[in-house]
Amino acid sequence: MKILFITTYFPPDTSIAAVRPHQFAKRLSGRGHQVTVIRYGLVDKLKGDTADPQPGYRLLTASKQLEQITNDASASHKQPLAFLPQFLRRPLANAYHTAKRPATDWQCYRIYMQRAERLKKVIDAIASEQFDVVFSTYGDLETIFVGAYAAELFHARWIQDYRDTITHYHIPGSLPWNLYGLHVYHRFLKKADAVTAVSHSITAALQTICPNTTMYTLPNGYDPNSAVSANDLRSDSPLFRISYTGQLYPQRIEALRHLLSVLKTLFDRGLMEPDKVRFLYAGSNSEEMRKSFAEIGLLSILDDRGYLNRTQTELLQKESDLFLVLSWNTKKSQGVITGKFYEGIRANRLILAILSGEKPYSELYQIQQKYHYGFCFEVCRRELEAPLMQWLLQAYRTKIAVGHLDYQAPESLVRDFSYEHLTTCLEQIMKNVCSMGQPHEVA
- Is the pLDDT at 395 greater than 70, yes or no? yes
Type of residue found at 96: Y
d(CA 213, CA 195): 7
What is the band of 167 on the pLDDT scale with cuts at 50, 70, 90?
A: confident
Q: Helix, strand or coil for residue 201? A: helix
More confident residue, 335 or 281: 281
More confident residue, 406 or 37: 37
Strand order in the sheet with 302-304: 302-304, 277-282, 240-245, 322-328, 350-356, 374-378
More confident residue, 14 or 82: 14
Among 37, 115, 12, 118, which Cα is nearest to 73's?
115
Q: Where are the alpha helices (DSSP H) in 40-85?
A: 64-75
In the chain the domains, ranked by start, together with CATH numbers, are: 2-221+418-434 (3.40.50.2000), 240-415 (3.40.50.2000)
d(CA 145, CA 172): 26
Greatest C-alpha distance within the chain: 73
Work out the average pLDDT over 284-299: 94
Condensed to tens digits (0 to 9), the pLDDT of residues 178-223 reads 888 888 998 999 999 999 999 999 999 999 999 999 999 999 999 8
Radius of gyration, CA atoms only, the chain: 23
Condensed to tens digits (0 to 9), the pLDDT of residues 306-351 reads 999 888 999 999 999 999 999 999 988 888 898 899 999 999 999 9
Q: Sign of the C-alpha dihedral, residues 337, 341, 343, 348?
A: negative
Type of residue found at 381: R
d(CA 415, CA 105): 39
Condensed to tens digits (0 to 9), the pLDDT of residues 246-260 reads 888 888 999 999 999
Say if residues 44 and 67 touch (Cβ distance below 8 Å): yes
- Is the pLDDT at 114 greater than 60, yes or no? yes
What is the band of 23 on the pLDDT scale with cuts at 50, 70, 90?
A: very high
Work out the average pLDDT over 290-296: 95
Q: Sign of the C-alpha dihedral, residues 37, 41, 43, 44?
A: positive
The highest-confidence range among 135-139, 375-379, 406-410, by mean pLDDT, is 375-379
Q: Which of 30-44, 45-59, 347-361 has the lowest mean pLDDT?
A: 45-59
d(CA 407, CA 403): 13
pLDDT at 51: 41
pLDDT at 76: 40
Q: How far, in whole angstroms, is CA 122 from its chain's centroid? A: 27
What is the band of 54 on the pLDDT scale with cuts at 50, 70, 90?
A: low
Predicted TM-score (pTM) of this structure: 0.85
pLDDT at 50: 39
Say if residues 189 and 209 touch (Cβ distance below 8 Å): yes
Work out the average pLDDT over 117-146: 93
